[in-house]
Amino acid sequence: MISIFPDLLSGAVITLQLLVSSMFFGLIIGLIFAILRINKNPIINKFAYGYSYFFRGTPLLVQLYLIYYGLANIEFLRNSFFWVIIKEPYWCAIIAFSLNTGAYTSEILRSAFQTIKKGYIEAAQSLGVTKKITFYRIQLPIAIKQSLPAYGNEIILMLKGTSLASVITIMDLMGEARKVNVLTFKPFEAFITAGIIYLFITFIIHNIIKYLEKKYGFQT
Protein backbone atom coordinates (compact mmCIF):
# COMPACT_ATOMS: atom_id res chain seq x y z
CA MET A 1 0.00 0.00 0.00
CA ILE A 2 2.74 2.43 0.98
CA SER A 3 4.99 1.36 -1.88
CA ILE A 4 2.49 2.45 -4.50
CA PHE A 5 1.96 5.85 -2.96
CA PRO A 6 4.88 7.73 -4.59
CA ASP A 7 3.81 6.51 -8.03
CA LEU A 8 0.26 7.65 -7.48
CA LEU A 9 1.38 11.01 -6.16
CA SER A 10 3.51 11.66 -9.23
CA GLY A 11 0.40 10.84 -11.24
CA ALA A 12 -1.62 13.26 -9.13
CA VAL A 13 0.82 16.03 -10.08
CA ILE A 14 0.12 15.36 -13.77
CA THR A 15 -3.62 15.33 -13.04
CA LEU A 16 -3.36 18.71 -11.35
CA GLN A 17 -1.29 20.11 -14.22
CA LEU A 18 -3.91 18.95 -16.70
CA LEU A 19 -6.67 20.38 -14.54
CA VAL A 20 -5.07 23.78 -14.04
CA SER A 21 -4.09 24.31 -17.66
CA SER A 22 -7.41 23.16 -19.08
CA MET A 23 -9.35 25.28 -16.58
CA PHE A 24 -7.21 28.27 -17.56
CA PHE A 25 -7.75 27.88 -21.31
CA GLY A 26 -11.34 26.78 -20.71
CA LEU A 27 -12.10 29.96 -18.81
CA ILE A 28 -10.80 32.11 -21.67
CA ILE A 29 -12.77 30.08 -24.25
CA GLY A 30 -15.85 30.11 -22.04
CA LEU A 31 -15.69 33.86 -21.58
CA ILE A 32 -15.33 34.48 -25.31
CA PHE A 33 -18.25 32.19 -26.17
CA ALA A 34 -20.43 33.58 -23.40
CA ILE A 35 -19.94 37.05 -24.87
CA LEU A 36 -20.74 35.66 -28.33
CA ARG A 37 -23.86 34.00 -26.93
CA ILE A 38 -25.30 37.25 -25.63
CA ASN A 39 -24.49 38.96 -28.93
CA LYS A 40 -27.61 40.08 -30.77
CA ASN A 41 -26.35 39.00 -34.20
CA PRO A 42 -28.16 35.70 -34.94
CA ILE A 43 -25.25 34.15 -36.87
CA ILE A 44 -22.67 34.73 -34.14
CA ASN A 45 -25.25 33.68 -31.59
CA LYS A 46 -26.08 30.42 -33.39
CA PHE A 47 -22.40 29.65 -33.88
CA ALA A 48 -21.72 29.98 -30.15
CA TYR A 49 -24.81 27.90 -29.38
CA GLY A 50 -23.70 25.19 -31.80
CA TYR A 51 -20.29 25.06 -30.15
CA SER A 52 -21.71 24.58 -26.69
CA TYR A 53 -24.35 22.15 -27.96
CA PHE A 54 -21.76 19.93 -29.58
CA PHE A 55 -19.38 19.84 -26.65
CA ARG A 56 -22.10 19.36 -24.08
CA GLY A 57 -24.01 16.79 -26.11
CA THR A 58 -21.18 14.39 -26.85
CA PRO A 59 -19.08 12.42 -24.36
CA LEU A 60 -15.68 13.81 -23.47
CA LEU A 61 -14.12 10.55 -24.64
CA VAL A 62 -15.39 11.11 -28.19
CA GLN A 63 -13.94 14.60 -28.20
CA LEU A 64 -10.63 13.32 -26.90
CA TYR A 65 -10.44 10.58 -29.54
CA LEU A 66 -11.47 13.00 -32.27
CA ILE A 67 -8.61 15.30 -31.39
CA TYR A 68 -6.00 12.68 -30.58
CA TYR A 69 -6.68 10.15 -33.34
CA GLY A 70 -8.84 12.18 -35.71
CA LEU A 71 -6.78 15.30 -36.26
CA ALA A 72 -3.73 13.23 -37.18
CA ASN A 73 -5.73 12.05 -40.18
CA ILE A 74 -5.75 15.44 -41.80
CA GLU A 75 -2.80 15.66 -44.17
CA PHE A 76 -2.73 19.42 -44.08
CA LEU A 77 -2.43 19.55 -40.30
CA ARG A 78 0.26 16.89 -40.28
CA ASN A 79 2.48 18.97 -42.50
CA SER A 80 1.87 22.21 -40.67
CA PHE A 81 3.42 23.61 -37.57
CA PHE A 82 0.48 22.38 -35.47
CA TRP A 83 1.75 18.85 -35.75
CA VAL A 84 4.31 19.58 -33.02
CA ILE A 85 1.39 20.18 -30.67
CA ILE A 86 -1.14 17.57 -31.73
CA LYS A 87 1.26 14.69 -31.89
CA GLU A 88 1.68 14.93 -28.13
CA PRO A 89 -1.06 13.18 -26.15
CA TYR A 90 -0.54 15.66 -23.34
CA TRP A 91 -1.44 18.65 -25.51
CA CYS A 92 -4.30 16.81 -27.18
CA ALA A 93 -5.75 16.13 -23.74
CA ILE A 94 -5.42 19.77 -22.77
CA ILE A 95 -7.06 20.90 -26.04
CA ALA A 96 -9.97 18.48 -25.61
CA PHE A 97 -10.50 19.32 -21.94
CA SER A 98 -10.25 23.07 -22.56
CA LEU A 99 -12.80 22.96 -25.37
CA ASN A 100 -15.11 20.81 -23.25
CA THR A 101 -14.94 22.88 -20.09
CA GLY A 102 -15.08 26.02 -22.25
CA ALA A 103 -18.51 24.97 -23.48
CA TYR A 104 -19.84 24.40 -19.97
CA THR A 105 -18.22 27.58 -18.67
CA SER A 106 -19.79 29.61 -21.47
CA GLU A 107 -23.23 28.32 -20.42
CA ILE A 108 -22.57 29.14 -16.78
CA LEU A 109 -21.38 32.66 -17.59
CA ARG A 110 -24.17 33.25 -20.10
CA SER A 111 -26.85 32.48 -17.56
CA ALA A 112 -25.02 34.71 -15.07
CA PHE A 113 -24.94 37.55 -17.61
CA GLN A 114 -28.61 37.14 -18.33
CA THR A 115 -29.66 37.19 -14.69
CA ILE A 116 -27.94 40.51 -14.01
CA LYS A 117 -30.67 42.94 -13.11
CA LYS A 118 -31.47 45.40 -15.91
CA GLY A 119 -31.43 48.18 -13.33
CA TYR A 120 -27.66 48.01 -12.94
CA ILE A 121 -27.05 48.52 -16.63
CA GLU A 122 -29.70 51.22 -16.90
CA ALA A 123 -28.22 53.00 -13.89
CA ALA A 124 -24.79 52.90 -15.49
CA GLN A 125 -26.23 54.19 -18.75
CA SER A 126 -28.02 57.06 -17.08
CA LEU A 127 -24.79 57.99 -15.29
CA GLY A 128 -23.12 58.23 -18.68
CA VAL A 129 -20.80 55.27 -18.19
CA THR A 130 -19.56 53.96 -21.54
CA LYS A 131 -20.62 50.53 -22.76
CA LYS A 132 -17.10 49.16 -22.47
CA ILE A 133 -16.65 50.25 -18.89
CA THR A 134 -20.14 49.03 -17.99
CA PHE A 135 -19.12 45.62 -19.26
CA TYR A 136 -15.73 45.40 -17.58
CA ARG A 137 -16.54 47.10 -14.30
CA ILE A 138 -20.16 46.13 -13.73
CA GLN A 139 -21.43 43.20 -15.79
CA LEU A 140 -18.29 41.04 -15.71
CA PRO A 141 -17.58 41.21 -11.95
CA ILE A 142 -21.22 40.50 -11.10
CA ALA A 143 -21.38 37.61 -13.56
CA ILE A 144 -18.20 36.06 -12.19
CA LYS A 145 -19.40 36.37 -8.61
CA GLN A 146 -22.78 34.90 -9.44
CA SER A 147 -21.35 31.94 -11.28
CA LEU A 148 -18.89 30.92 -8.56
CA PRO A 149 -20.92 27.98 -7.14
CA ALA A 150 -21.69 26.55 -10.58
CA TYR A 151 -18.09 27.07 -11.64
CA GLY A 152 -16.91 25.19 -8.58
CA ASN A 153 -18.98 22.20 -9.69
CA GLU A 154 -17.48 22.52 -13.15
CA ILE A 155 -13.95 22.37 -11.74
CA ILE A 156 -14.80 19.17 -9.89
CA LEU A 157 -16.42 17.68 -13.03
CA MET A 158 -13.28 18.56 -14.95
CA LEU A 159 -11.07 16.96 -12.31
CA LYS A 160 -13.02 13.77 -12.88
CA GLY A 161 -12.78 14.33 -16.62
CA THR A 162 -8.98 14.49 -16.55
CA SER A 163 -8.97 10.81 -15.63
CA LEU A 164 -9.79 10.11 -19.30
CA ALA A 165 -6.30 11.29 -20.20
CA SER A 166 -5.16 7.86 -19.04
CA VAL A 167 -6.78 6.18 -22.06
CA ILE A 168 -4.51 8.12 -24.41
CA THR A 169 -1.39 6.91 -22.61
CA ILE A 170 -0.89 9.84 -20.25
CA MET A 171 0.32 8.69 -16.83
CA ASP A 172 -1.93 10.80 -14.71
CA LEU A 173 -3.33 9.60 -11.39
CA MET A 174 -5.67 7.21 -13.17
CA GLY A 175 -2.92 6.00 -15.50
CA GLU A 176 -0.65 5.27 -12.55
CA ALA A 177 -3.45 3.42 -10.78
CA ARG A 178 -3.96 1.30 -13.89
CA LYS A 179 -0.25 0.58 -14.08
CA VAL A 180 -0.17 -0.48 -10.43
CA ASN A 181 -3.17 -2.71 -11.03
CA VAL A 182 -1.51 -4.38 -14.00
CA LEU A 183 1.81 -4.84 -12.20
CA THR A 184 0.51 -6.07 -8.86
CA PHE A 185 -2.92 -7.58 -9.68
CA LYS A 186 -4.31 -5.74 -6.71
CA PRO A 187 -7.16 -3.71 -8.21
CA PHE A 188 -8.68 -2.73 -4.88
CA GLU A 189 -5.50 -1.24 -3.45
CA ALA A 190 -4.64 0.62 -6.63
CA PHE A 191 -8.03 2.06 -7.42
CA ILE A 192 -9.20 2.75 -3.89
CA THR A 193 -5.99 4.61 -3.06
CA ALA A 194 -6.37 6.62 -6.27
CA GLY A 195 -10.00 7.24 -5.33
CA ILE A 196 -8.96 8.60 -1.94
CA ILE A 197 -6.48 10.98 -3.59
CA TYR A 198 -9.18 12.14 -6.02
CA LEU A 199 -11.59 12.68 -3.13
CA PHE A 200 -8.94 14.64 -1.28
CA ILE A 201 -8.40 16.95 -4.28
CA THR A 202 -12.18 17.35 -4.67
CA PHE A 203 -12.44 18.22 -1.00
CA ILE A 204 -9.77 20.91 -1.28
CA ILE A 205 -11.32 22.45 -4.40
CA HIS A 206 -14.74 22.40 -2.74
CA ASN A 207 -13.40 24.26 0.28
CA ILE A 208 -11.48 26.84 -1.74
CA ILE A 209 -14.65 27.63 -3.70
CA LYS A 210 -16.66 27.81 -0.50
CA TYR A 211 -14.13 30.24 0.95
CA LEU A 212 -14.18 32.40 -2.19
CA GLU A 213 -17.96 32.38 -2.17
CA LYS A 214 -17.99 33.56 1.40
CA LYS A 215 -15.44 36.27 0.73
CA TYR A 216 -16.55 37.54 -2.66
CA GLY A 217 -20.00 36.00 -2.98
CA PHE A 218 -22.74 38.15 -4.36
CA GLN A 219 -25.80 38.57 -2.21
CA THR A 220 -28.86 39.92 -3.90
**Applying CB under 8 A, which residues contact another protein?**
53-54, 57-63, 65-66, 69-74, 156, 159-164, 166-167, 174, 177-178, 181, 185, 187-188, 191-192, 194-195, 198-199, 202-203
At 67, which helix (H) or strand (E)?
Answer: none
Q: How far apart are CA 210 and CA 215, in angstroms?
A: 9
Nearest to another protein of 133, 199 (CB atom) = 199
CB of 166 to another protein, least distance (A): 7
CB of 133 to another protein, least distance (A): 37
Q: Cα-atom radius of gyration of the chain, to the nearest Å?
A: 20
CB 205 within 8 A of CB 152: yes
Nearest to another protein of 15, 139 (CB atom) = 15
Q: How far apart are CA 169 and CA 131, in angstroms?
A: 48
CB of 111 to another protein, least distance (A): 14
Q: How far apart are CA 64 and CA 161, in angstroms?
A: 11
CB of 138 to another protein, least distance (A): 31
